[in-house]
Structure 1
Amino acid sequence: MTSDITPFILDIPQSDLDDLTSRLDRIRWPDPSPIEDGRQGPPLHKIKALVDYWRTSYDWRRCEADLNALGQSRTEIDGIGIHFLHIRSEHEDAMPLLMTHGWPGSVLEFRHVIDPLVNPTAHGGTAKDAFHLVIPSMPGFGFSGKPEVPGWNTSRNAGAWAALMARLGYDRWVAQGGDWGAMVTLTLGHMCPPGLKGIHLNFVPFQPTEAEVAQASDEEKAMLANAGRYDAEYSGYMKLMSTRPQSVAFGLSDSPVALAAWIYALFQDVSDSGGDPETVFSHDEIIDDIMLYWLPNAGPSSARLYWESMQAMRQGGMPQAKVPTPAGISMFAGEQIRLSRRWAESRFDKLTHFAEHASGGHFAALEAPDLLVSDIRDTIRTLRL
């Protein structure tokens, strides 16, 4: 029932911001790495510059006002509070679109695609391209509640999202996601809940078969090499949080700089920035994202999603059947784990759109918003009928 949904207004106590300032004023910095090129993690000078901006120039109240202006709500589903943005288009017959972020993302990951999707006529589209947007914070992330019992994996998230769309009164809707949001969206595609007409993914988790590896084209061999490099060089954060999330939880909860460096590493490693994320993201964008982990103390709870989902994978693994829900896919060149159209067609029953882009990375909605918007429109256009 929509009566179970309440408006949510952010108004962080000044004492919380003062505490953050105090912590940033009392940093004990590590020594520089002997190799300050990113191979051992974020370079000291990069994090010092980010923190200096955080201390002297960053304005949380601006970010807070932006979120409040978008329209925030909360509701309880499956025993946990869900925070979400709900932005309705003025265009008649707009299609409801559920968008799910990943880690270390947040609802602000979609900030540059919101208006083009909701108001397409102002951004090169037509009224027939309009969407109503539902953008929730996953349990344990942002201002959603923190799971107090085990079992909140991507499948349980997907069930909660289906319940959310039903509660909002949407009987026809589509879904989109990247990173963990892609896992949730992919699970929805397998579940086929009432009303789901299609999905769009800008990340597709998959394991190539022995035959696919043996028969890989040169382009596919390059994709496999990138995935291997990710596993060997960039995935330490994932392996730690998948096995011992509580080990890192203390630092993420107690130190804003530890949290910032942990998150910054992903902006550095998996964006299409050549290891220099400031060329793609502003300091404000990076710190806004960090604040949605720091203020609600969501660093530890978000990390546990990796452990929960790894337990689920070990018990049942990923579904082997083709995804029956119509799907569109965007592959961005800077994404470390990519698949070819040929590999996609063997995993999706009805591929309505497949696009490969020469630029953009893992954070597609921030890095290449125009391309992502265009692909979402193309994916869903035939499903509006």
Structure 2
Amino acid sequence: MSKLIEPFQIDIPQSDLDDLIARLTHTRWPDQMRDADWRQGIPLDRVKDLAEYWRTEYDWRAAEERLNRFPQFTTEIDGQRIHFLNVRSSRQDALPLLITHGYPSSFVEFEKLIPDLLERGFHVVIPSLPGFGFSAPVGEPGWAMGRTARAWVELMARLGYEHYGVHGGDVGSAISGTVSGLDGEHVAGVHIVTDPYTAAASATFVPWLADKLNPEDAIDKLALQRMEDFRRNDSGYLAIQNTRPQTIGYGLTDSPAMQLAWIAESFDSWTSLPIDTDQLLTNISVYWFTGTGVSAARFLYEQAHSQDWGAPPSVPQGYSVFGADATVRRLIDPAEGTHWVEHDRGRHFPAMEAPEQLAEDLSVFFDGLR
């Protein structure tokens, strides 16, 4: 296995941009029921507005130039191409921080967080999950959370980082926790972001999280209701990707309107503070130009059919809870003495919604672990 680390620059061919414009121009739009709302999916007007902005005003070349200011690399680990950012702080006491994104996100989620982290004394390492963006294609089954965590441990060793922190949200939180369990000798601590949606979704699919809830307790009853609401109203995308990712992949790969709607729905539903439309479209563009809508969906399929959960965290843990309410801690139930910070604003993507608050939380947690 090659341990070669190669510099990487994003350079999407102009023909791909021209093709995107042509496909958006000739989109065949569905109809919509009168007085339709979000209950049946992202509304038609919302997708049309985003698609028209993507087609006529959004500037991919400007986004490409901004992203290429961050040092990027690729390397092969366990037979898989891995793309990653490795952005080093000028501070002598800088702590390497391994950040893992979730679905349907990418390294683009952290674009506005990185400069603040550099000033606060972090070297920032952000890999693209296998099958996501420029960490593609995926050549074989088995790339779920546990295998990814082992690849991240190898990546940090390959970069020469012997003492580092880990951070993540969404599926990135589970991968980060697993990294800390696998490599506790080198990991200073693990920091996780969560919100009521993530907590309810996690408890829905991880039975032992819900087993401790008492349906007679008022707070536990609310948590159980949140879980049921997720099952009934918000789990459709996950059910499809956990069972038939290939089928949805034809639309995601052939239609930019489909890829746009599929991702924008999650960002619209899972945020409570405004996010930059250009940043959202940059994230979607990475999926589109790399054709990784289907392989990213397969990552969730692989995890749904995997028993490889790696190892639990064995280092200090920190949590930043956005849109906090009393149900979250009941569902997550961290160990006594866990670093816990609650924010009443923001939700699932705080690196885009509230990057300053997230950077402050990371600084406070890890400053005591350097």
TM-score w.r.t. structure 2 length?
Answer: 0.91
Q: How many residue pairs get matched? A: 360
Identity of aligned residues (%): 41
Would you say the 8 A contact 1:263–1:290 is kept in 2?
A: yes
The equivalent residue for 1:89 is 89
Deviation, 1:378, is: 1.9
Q: SS of the counterpart of 2:109?
A: helix
Deviation, 1:213, is: 2.8
The equivalent residue for 1:327 is 317
- Look up the equivalent residue of 2:190 and give its one-letter code: I
- Look up the equivalent residue of 2:284 and give its one-letter code: I
Distance in 1, Cα, partners of 2:17 & 2:77? 30
Distance in 2, Cα, partners of 1:2 & 1:58? 38
The equivalent residue for 1:368 is 354
Deviation, 1:220, is: 4.5
Would you say the 8 A contact 1:334–1:362 is kept in 2?
A: no
Deviation, 1:9, is: 1.1
Uncovered stretches (5+) of structure 1, i.e. residues with no partner: 121-129, 274-279
Listed one character per residue, the Cα deviations across residues 200-224 of structure 1 (whole Å, up to 9, x for unaligned) are: 01136444343433474x4444343
Deviation, 1:4, is: 1.4
Deviation, 1:93, is: 1.3
- Look up the equivalent residue of 2:313 and give its one-letter code: V
- Look up the equivalent residue of 1:303 and give its one-letter code: A
Q: SS of the counterpart of 2:167?
A: strand
Listed as ranges, the matches of 1:149-160 within 5 Å are 149-160=140-151
Correspondence 1:357 to 2:343: yes
Q: SS of the counterpart of 1:69?
A: coil
The equivalent residue for 1:340 is 329
The equivalent residue for 1:304 is 298
Would you say the 8 A contact 2:3–2:77 is kept in 1?
A: no
Moved more, 218-227 or 134-143: 218-227
Correspondence 1:163 to 2:163: no
Listed as ranges, the matches of 1:19-168 within 5 Å are 19-120=19-120, 130-168=121-159
Q: SS of the counterpart of 1:340?
A: helix
Considering Cα pairs closer than 8 Å and 6+ residues apart, tell me whether 1 or 2 has the greater RCO. 2
The equivalent residue for 1:257 is 257
Distance in 2, Cα, partners of 1:338 & 1:83? 36
Listed one character per residue, the Cα deviations across residues 139-193 of structure 1 (whole Å, up to 9, x for unaligned) are: 1001112212110011000000000000000000010000111121121233235
Listed one character per residue, the Cα deviations across residues 338-361 of structure 1 (whole Å, up to 9, x for unaligned) are: 62179523xx4762x101111111
Would you say the 8 A contact 2:245–2:294 is kept in 1?
A: yes
Q: SS of the counterpart of 1:42?
A: coil
Deviation, 1:226, is: 2.5
Q: SS of the counterpart of 1:105?
A: coil
Deviation, 1:301, is: 0.3
Deviation, 1:291, is: 0.5
Question: Which of the numbers 261, 278, 284 marks the counterpart of 2:278?
Answer: 284
- Look up the equivalent residue of 2:157 and give its one-letter code: A
The equivalent residue for 2:173 is 182
- Look up the equivalent residue of 1:291 and give its one-letter code: S
Correspondence 1:293 to 2:287: yes
Q: SS of the counterpart of 1:145?
A: coil
TM-score w.r.t. structure 1 length?
Answer: 0.88
- Look up the equivalent residue of 1:376 and give its one-letter code: L
Distance in 2, Cα, partners of 1:89 & 1:114? 10
Distance in 1, Cα, partners of 2:295 & 2:20? 19
Distance in 2, Cα, partners of 1:165 & 1:2? 15
Would you say the 8 A contact 2:95–2:165 is kept in 1?
A: yes
Seen in structure 2, the aligned counterparts of structure 1 residues 3 and 149 have a Cα distance that, compared at 3 Å, is closer
Distance in 2, Cα, partners of 1:194 & 1:291? 38
Listed one character per residue, the Cα deviations across residues 33-54 of structure 1 (whole Å, up to 9, x for unaligned) are: 3443211111100111001101
Seen in structure 2, the aligned counterparts of structure 1 residues 137 and 151 have a Cα distance that, compared at 3 Å, is same
Distance in 1, Cα, partners of 2:36 & 2:363? 42
Would you say the 8 A contact 1:6–1:73 is kept in 2?
A: yes
The equivalent residue for 1:124 is none
Moved more, 75-84 or 2-11: 2-11
- Look up the equivalent residue of 2:25 and give its one-letter code: D
Q: SS of the counterpart of 2:290?
A: coil
Would you say the 8 A contact 2:136–2:292 is kept in 1?
A: no
Q: SS of the counterpart of 2:73?
A: strand
Distance in 2, Cα, partners of 1:35 & 1:155? 44
Seen in structure 2, the aligned counterparts of structure 1 residues 26 and 343 have a Cα distance that, compared at 3 Å, is closer
Moved more, 27-36 or 165-174: 27-36
Seen in structure 2, the aligned counterparts of structure 1 residues 322 and 22 have a Cα distance that, compared at 3 Å, is closer
Deviation, 1:285, is: 1.5
Uncovered stretches (5+) of structure 2, i.e. residues with no partner: none
Seen in structure 2, the aligned counterparts of structure 1 residues 209 and 104 have a Cα distance that, compared at 3 Å, is closer
Would you say the 8 A contact 1:325–1:350 is kept in 2?
A: no
Q: SS of the counterpart of 2:189?
A: strand
Seen in structure 2, the aligned counterparts of structure 1 residues 358 and 2 have a Cα distance that, compared at 3 Å, is farther
